[in-house]
Structure 1
Amino acid sequence: MIGRVRIAVTLALVVAVTPVAILLQMGVLRSRIAHPNTLPRLWHGFALRLLGIRVHVEGAPASGRPLLIVANHVSWSDICVLGSLGPYSFVAKSDMARWPVFGTLARLQRSVFVERERTRASQLQARELGERLGAGEALVLFAEGTTCDGNAVGPFKSTLFGAAQAALASQAGLETVHIQPVSIAYTRLHGMPMGRFHRTHAAWIGDMDLVPHVGALLSEGGMDVEVRFGDPIPFTRSSNRKEIARLTEAEVRRNMSRSLREPRAHEAAPGRVPPRAR
């Protein structure tokens, strides 16, 4: 009963707030009166509070630009988690652009849609990403190319790291693209550490239906996620994208393992918890 009431109240709030946010964001993108990612960041924070997800941060986002944040991927909620932490745009699968509501929200956050299964297309899209990076933007890339179960990190695909090479090629005076490894780990449910089996509660894997998964998270609530920002890795004209992908993957895997072994303590209220010194 409580779960159903929670879902009903949440849906009412989303229906009331989201259309207004969409109209305001459209106005921002047309008029450029504010940073294009300010409203999406506020919306992601709003969504996290409705979901009851508390975000714990260790380390800090890099200040240097251009910035490519490279993270592991557990669920659609990862977008809200990272989107609440900075003015970022996302690299998303091309089919997401056709999703009802979510596709619209992704376009309004200026996501770059890519076809990761087609090597030639990925190379062309890496050039588009390079142009965005070359303009000094911060982009988020989920480098596994799919979601995992929250217990491990899958192999990183190196093709889209070519975006850093493309950025350097497109900007004559640009010397470095900052690649920042970021791990995402769902660690507690109602204050209790999740075990290997319970971490799948947060995961949205493969062909799982989205609506039932959203409903399950809404009815349950009270989940903690830990985000660890690693030290940025400089990508220069002499860098090898496969080697950088390997180093980034190793750092994300190491930090995720730390989060799962030593989850941070439960906090009283949902939302963003201030960063802890590394």
Structure 2
Amino acid sequence: MLRLTVALLLAPGLPLLAMPIPGRTHVQRAYCRLVLRCFGVRIVVSGSPIRNVRGVLVVSNHMSWLDVFAIGAVLPGSFVARADMFTGPATGIVARLLQIIPIERASLRLLPGVVETVAGRLRSGQTVVAFPEGTTWCGRAAGQFYPAMFQAAINAGRPVQPLRLSYHHADGSVTTTPAYVGGDTLLRSAGRMLRVRRTVAWVRVESLQLPGTDRRALAGRCQWAVQAGDGRANGSVPLHRRLEGRPAIPPPPDCGRDSTPCTTC
């Protein structure tokens, strides 16, 4: 109850993340860590040192709404998010305050505009965070990285920072409790997290990738950095075959939350 109360008290502070206050980056990181603590999540950061690079596209695998706070605690920036998540008046205001870049996944003709918006943010020195898989996965399987958003880094001539994100029990084993997939609701997902005493979010910072000129090659390099090292490749299909643009095969039967088989990803 204490954790839930603190989380509710922190909710009105979300717009503060977008205000041009001194030391905003430090405020963002501290706020995200505090929100994670309310849900029993501790952050562990490893990998390549985080360089003070401006105008970088951050890409990561995607499992949960908690990913936003986990990444924000390490490399805060503006996020590319599904437009249908911000259709209400209140959520629309929050999206504008947080400088969310909305994307309509069902409308490909709008995609070039989104890519140019991201490229413009990168040119101006802002950090932009995107999830190239396009949807959430349960954590024991992963999807392919779609190359469209990587075109923004190429157009802006800015590097890409891959992050490998995973959630673990206190004993180090992988947990799928944070997974936000299928018909799950935010309320049910938050309640599930509050019932867990401790979860560890491991954020591994991989090597910075130069943009080059081929978005598919850039997407492939970043997917390799994020997925190859932790063994979450889909099924037994070799990674080089998945990078050819073929659709990901269904995950293994044990892919799912800790007590419920995952039938969506």
TM-score by length of 1: 0.75
- Show the 5 A alignment for 1:31-180: 32-34=20-22, 37-59=25-47, 60-98=49-87, 105-167=94-156, 176-180=157-161
Equivalent residues of 1:62, 1:232 under 8 A apart: no
Q: 2:203 aligns with which of 223, 227, 231?
A: 227
How many positions carry a matched residue from both structures?
231
Name the CA distance, whole Å, in 1 between partners of 2:88 and 2:221.
33
- Larger RCO, structure (CA 8 Å, separation 6 or more): 1
Q: CA deviation at 1:98?
A: 2.8
The 10-residue stretch of structure 1 (91-100 or 34-43) with the greater mean CA deviation from structure 2: 34-43
Q: CA deviation at 1:138?
A: 1.0
Equivalent residues of 2:33, 2:43 under 8 A apart: no
Question: What SS is found at the alignment partner of 1:234?
Answer: coil
Matched, 1:242 2:216: yes
Matched, 1:201 2:177: yes
- Show the 5 A alignment for 1:12-27: 12-19=5-12, 21-22=13-14, 25=16
Question: What SS is found at the alignment partner of 2:102?
Answer: strand
Q: 1:214 aligns with which of 190, 198, 216?
A: 190
Larger proportion of helix: 1
1:150-202 Cα shifts (integer Å, max 9, x gaps): 012201111111211332xxxxxxxx4111111111122xx22335xxx3212
Name the CA distance, whole Å, in 1 between partners of 2:61 and 2:89.
25
- Show the 5 A alignment for 1:187-198: 187-188=168-169, 191-194=170-173
Percent same amino acid at aligned positions? 29
The 10-residue stretch of structure 1 (199-208 or 224-233) with the greater mean CA deviation from structure 2: 199-208
Amino acid at match of 2:165: I
Equivalent residues of 1:93, 1:113 under 8 A apart: yes
Structure 2, unmatched stretches of 5+, are 233-265
Q: CA deviation at 1:251?
A: 1.1
Structure 1, unmatched stretches of 5+, are 1-7, 168-175, 259-278
Name the CA distance, whole Å, in 1 between partners of 2:9 and 2:178.
26
Name the CA distance, whole Å, in 1 between partners of 2:26 and 2:89.
22
Alignment RMSD: 2.3
